Each structure stands twice: as C-alpha cells, then as structure tokens.
Structure 1
C-alpha cells in the first residue's frame, strides 16, 4: 500500500522560551498579504493575524540565515509552528540561547522564539545527507533533512533493501538517519509575467516563471523550467530562446518575448482588488532566508493557485544531472494539488516576494503525478539559483 510517511516533532525536547518584550517586527507593513485568506482558513485565525504571521515568517527566514552564517557547531536549524500558536522554534545541541536571543532581539522576534535542545547540529545532518546522495540515486529514494525530528529522513520503497545497499557500498548509517517506507514518485510536471500558459506547437507545455533582466545586456525576458521545450509561444508570439541550465541546482531557461510588455507580476487567480488575478512582485527571498514550515503559495496553469508549507530545503534534485541537495519541498498534506503536468516553471511566492519556480511533482499515490485528480506535493528551485544560472535579475519593479 502506498503511503506518505508522517514527519513528527521532537519528543521530550528541552524547551526554553525567550523572555517576552515589546514586539517590533521589521519588514511587516499594514498592507494585507494576498495569501492571508488561505492562511486564515487553514489555521483558523483572522485575516489580519494571518497577514501579521506571514510577515513574521519572512523575518524568521532572516534569523535562520543569520544563525547559519555564524558557522557554529551548535545550531540545529529553525522551524515555524503555526498552531496552536505561532512560534519560531530554534534548535540547538548545547542549550545555547544567548546568541539566539541577541539575533532575535535585533530582528524584533523576542517573545516568539522558543529554543529546543537536540542531539545533532544542522551541519551534522547536512553531512549525513550528503553521504547518502549516491545511495538515493541508486535506489530511487528521497533523502531530506527533517529539522523538527532532528533526523535525516530517507523515504524509500524498501527500507531493508536501502540498508542492505548501504552495507554493500560501505556507507555507515548513523543514528541521525531514519528510513521509512514510501512508494513515492518524483515526475517532471511538464506540460508574460509569471504564471501564464506557454505553448509549444499549439499545445500547452509549461507555465511561465518570473520576468527578468539579463545583467550583461539589459535584455528583458521571461523564465520557465529548463526541462520544458525550448520552442515556446505566448499569445501567438514566438518567444526567442536564449539559454538553458539543467544540472546541479539549476532547472531554468529564459527567453526574450518579442512584442510583449514585460511586467513584474505573478498570476494568483485571486479576484478583486487593484490587481485582479495577479500580484506585483516587489522583492525576492533567497533559499537561505526561506524559513522551514513557512507558508508559500504557487501557481501553475494545470492546478492553479494553492499554498503549502516548506517542509525541507535539502531535497536532492535527483532529476538533474550531477544533482545537489538544494531542492525545496512544499507540502500541505494532500489538502490541495500543488503540482500537476504543465505547472513546471510557474512561480512560488509569499505575498509579493519571489521564492522560486516549480521544478517537479512529488507523488505518494500509486497512479503517480500523471493523475490530475490526485493531490501531490511540489519540488521547486529557489529564486537565487534561477538568477545565478544565467546571470539574471528577477524584476521587482517596473522595467
């Protein structure tokens, strides 16, 4: 029977709640985040509270990046909790709270940060994950860091066979590794601003990604996933293929757009307001600044608008040549379909901030990703890898 393995929280973890003080949130404005309605419905809070929390999760991403940059051996990662209360949970191997408290105070997060003790640092988990990448490719398994469980999680069709393969290859499975049975599939979701339907030969092929500027030439264009066809059209206009990158952490291509006008917009299908059916992209959030369990939303022409939680930032990009463990896993427990064929290349965002583009569908059903009636998880490429692959800048203002 095909099933998805649940990801639990840490049992019996030591907890230290940082002292409460006045809350001054950096980067949070009075303007309501367009994803607030989804968040409010999912977590049972008001739209205003939902907007506040979505702003806070961006600040939490900054905290994660700052603590990671300290390059210390005690940092165990960061995870957002949304219920029963909103918390920023920081894990540490030493019960260390001083540096965490200092960084939280600087960002205005005091009173929201909870410190929990764990056995393994995030660097330890990254090292263990890297040791397993060859086994993952050989056995068609998914390897990811499960921060709240403080484990490297392996999802595989046969845990026994995975362990046997590790023994044959001389790879020691440490106590930091948990292996769970799961017959999952990762399938490319192949099918002029972000979120529009791109055609090839008159047939819907993929979804457009973010509008960009080529740094070296100033040319304007549009992105999508590299595994989509290169000969693409939009609105009866042939898009001019410029460059493709499909290896390591990259799955993107870009095109100039002929007579089209490039806008820093992204489709969301949300009616009403001053931007009906789309939102304006005004910022970017790098992989390092995307907090785990943060809510992000996405749009693809096949499965339209949906939101989920960022479960992992360290999934092996197994469909790419020479893959790196930098792919992002978005899930909402099969509440909505997050990826179907044709969604590839579409935008992943939080409010007006670009987070990445859709790379693949992650399915835990027997029929797999090709069955559009089922709800699947999403794998995406972080926005900074789209920019780095081609020397581009994602537009955050009118060109």
Structure 2
C-alpha cells in the first residue's frame, strides 16, 4: 500500500482512517466472504486481533505437541488447536473482540509443527529430486501435514497422488498431503501500496512493483518493496507525479525478498487501503510470524490487483521455483486467491492497522488466475531496519502472552 513517508500531499487529498474504520472496511470483505452481518464480521476481526496473546500462550504451553492452530469461520467462529498424542485437553473459552470465542483441542496428530518444518528444511532437496519437477511445499496447521503441491502430469504418473504420498512420507517421516494444481509460481513482478516503475537497462522494458511499509534504521527513513524489483525505480503519487527514490540495498536470498529505498521523510506511516488510492490507514502494530494462524483473515493492496482480502492458508511455505537465489527456505506464508497479479510485488499484507508482511510472489493456474500469493513476514526485515508505526515508537508485536 502507500508509504506516506515518501509523499507530501495536501491533507485534504486523502482520507485517513482510524483503527476502527480500517477494521470496518476489512469487515465488509469478511461479511461478503462468509455471509455474516457486518456487525458480526467486525466482532470477529476484533477477536482475531485480541486473541493473539491467548493462542500464543497455548502454543508455548503445548510446544512439544503442537501440530497447528487454525481459525474456523463456519459454521461458527472458533480456534482449533491440533495436538499430537491422545491425552485430551478440555475446551476453553476466551473473551476477545467483545465476544466469547471457543478454543477446541483436537488430538491424534502424527507429527508436531516443529517436526514438519524440520522435515521440509532437511529433506527439501531430496523431495525436489524425487519428482520430475520441483514442487512447492508447506505446513497446513489445520491437518498437521506437510503439503506438497504438484502438477497434473506428475500426479497422474506412477500411481498418482497416493503413491507420491507414500513415497514422501517414507522419505520424510511425517504425514504428507499431495495437492494437485497446474500452476506456475513466480515473483510478482511512497506510501505503502503505491506505484513503482522502472526500466531494466538490460532489455529496455518497463517493470512495475508496489511499495510496502515505511521503515527506519534509526537515522534514515525508507520504504520497502520486493528485492526482485529493479534497483532504479521511481515512485508515482495518485496524481501521477514522479518522486525519485534512492536505492539503499536489497536482500533476496533464502528467506528474504525485500529492498529498501529512501526519500523524503514521512509525516506519518500510512498505507493505501483501497484500489483507487484515495483512502489511507495508519500502521500501528506488527504481528510476528509465529503468531500467524491458518484462517487469519488478511488483506493486501497491489498496484495491479488493487485491494482484496482472504484467508491465510499455509505456513512455513517453500515455493517450487528457485525464486530466492536458489531454493527458498520454508519461511513464507500463503494467502488464498483470487486476487493477485504481476506488479503486486512488494505490496503490504495487513489486517486493520496491523502489518503482517510484504508480497513476494504467487502461484497461477494455467488460465492465469491467482491460486494463492505468498508473503515475507516483517520479522525478516534486515537489521537495523525496522517498521515505522504511528507515534514513532518501536512497533508493538502482537505475540506477547497474556
């Protein structure tokens, strides 16, 4: 979205949201997605934010048994905690967002989250070598399985998905779920959520990216985008006015895909939260990656696809292609489509006024539609750079136990 830090615009030119109006905008998308009244959608998004400390405390308490924590939206709103072993844990209820939210414990998972993530990391090269083309893979906290995403041709050969399941389970020692999707994964090719354009000197073609968040190293103010974007880019305000930026550096290996530019110091850390770039919202907090749950309802704004919201799907995701200077580490987070396009790279992922990460890439179906996109958590901003939040303090991390 927009980085208000790099723009100087008349105050009347934009509408700046409060935390409540920002959540209300996202709640409109939630209400349409799940068929609930706007007021109920708003309560649930408040609960999503307010419950982080409680689910973090549960994750810490059951660390050795934890397979995953997820959000259930239908038929009612609750949190599901999936554990290894057979020892039962009684249901709990927490007060969050002005409502009582059940936390239900399921047992019988075959592997913990830590074990699945270790299996992805340790066996990634062997998994890629075992298949005709490299798959993408990640953890599904709803099932506690290592999800391996392959194309139709691979699934149809030599016994199909079931045979691949068995082979990879034997290789990794953890439960595997093969998903079939004909897809192509690719990087999505200053105010957060704003437009960046540049010309590649190597081929003379123009490329577009999206700005992410205002950051600081304690001395300088900057704006983020994706590392795979061009180094020499110009920011364009909503009226089309160019604002030159100064390249600081890019970090694009393994678990990074972030680039930082400097420009005029921001008046406030704002991001655009609508497709037309007429509405801004302040950035007030940052959520840590370990606190992110499958089913969290998040939004993003890309210069090509605009503003949209959807559920977090896979955690600890490693894309199929060599998009990280080689194979990517399993540190990325996926969000369901259908809204992502080339040019969204670097754009902000958020919920209300809380920042989650910056868009890296997407998986497209054969017809060109967006299956899902994936982002880099702001946990991986390169030191000493950190997120700038409203009020200028260090960002509040939504991951502290109650």
TM-score (normalizing by structure 1): 0.78
CA contact (8 A) 2:43 2:99 kept: no
Change over 3 Å in CA distance of 1:76–1:100 after alignment to 2: farther
- 3-state DSSP class of the match of 2:324? coil
Residue number in structure 2 paired with 1:118: 108
- 3-state DSSP class of the match of 1:296? strand
Matched, 1:393 2:386: yes
Whole-angstrom distance in 2 between the partners of 1:87 and 1:49: 13
Residue number in structure 2 paired with 1:345: 346
Whole-angstrom distance in 2 between the partners of 1:176 and 1:80: 21
CA contact (8 A) 1:81 1:89 kept: yes
Matched, 1:289 2:294: no
- 3-state DSSP class of the match of 1:311? coil
Matched, 1:154 2:159: no
TM-score (normalizing by structure 2): 0.78
Residue number in structure 2 paired with 1:198: 196
Change over 3 Å in CA distance of 1:36–1:131 after alignment to 2: same
CA contact (8 A) 2:196 2:208 kept: yes
CA contact (8 A) 1:132 1:143 kept: no
- 3-state DSSP class of the match of 1:132? helix
- 3-state DSSP class of the match of 1:248? coil
Residue number in structure 1 paired with 2:399: none
Residue number in structure 2 paired with 1:186: 185
Whole-angstrom distance in 2 between the partners of 1:298 and 1:122: 27
Residue number in structure 2 paired with 1:300: 302
Whole-angstrom distance in 1 between the partners of 2:127 and 2:209: 28
1:171 Cα deviation from its structure 2 partner: 6.5
Whole-angstrom distance in 2 between the partners of 1:42 and 1:308: 8
Matched, 1:86 2:96: no
Change over 3 Å in CA distance of 1:93–1:356 after alignment to 2: same
1:59 Cα deviation from its structure 2 partner: 3.5
Whole-angstrom distance in 2 between the partners of 1:178 and 1:32: 35
Question: What are the Cα deviations for residues 45-81 of structure 1, in whole angstroms up to 9, with x where unaligned?
Answer: 2222111111212234333433333463222211101
Change over 3 Å in CA distance of 1:283–1:230 after alignment to 2: same
Residue number in structure 1 paired with 2:175: 176
- 3-state DSSP class of the match of 1:36? helix
CA contact (8 A) 2:140 2:315 kept: no
CA contact (8 A) 2:137 2:146 kept: yes
The answer for unaligned runs of 5 or more in structure 2 is 1-18, 200-204, 236-240, 393-402
Residue number in structure 2 paired with 1:212: 215
Residue number in structure 2 paired with 1:267: 272
Aligned-residue Cα RMSD (Å) equals: 3.2
- 3-state DSSP class of the match of 1:54? helix
Structure 1 range deviating more: 240-249 or 123-132: 123-132
CA contact (8 A) 1:195 1:346 kept: yes
Residue number in structure 2 paired with 1:382: 377
- 3-state DSSP class of the match of 1:72? coil
Question: What are the Cα deviations for residues 273-306 of structure 1, in whole angstroms up to 9, with x where unaligned?
Answer: xx95221111111111112111000000100011
CA contact (8 A) 1:197 1:204 kept: no
- 3-state DSSP class of the match of 2:232? coil
The answer for unaligned runs of 5 or more in structure 1 is 1-27
Whole-angstrom distance in 2 between the partners of 1:123 and 1:108: 33
Matched, 1:144 2:138: yes
Residue number in structure 2 paired with 1:17: none
Give matches, 1:120-135, under 5 Å. 120=110, 121-135=112-126
Matched, 1:330 2:335: yes
Residue number in structure 1 paired with 2:3: none
Matched, 1:319 2:320: no
Whole-angstrom distance in 2 between the partners of 1:59 and 1:65: 11
Residue number in structure 1 paired with 2:57: 66
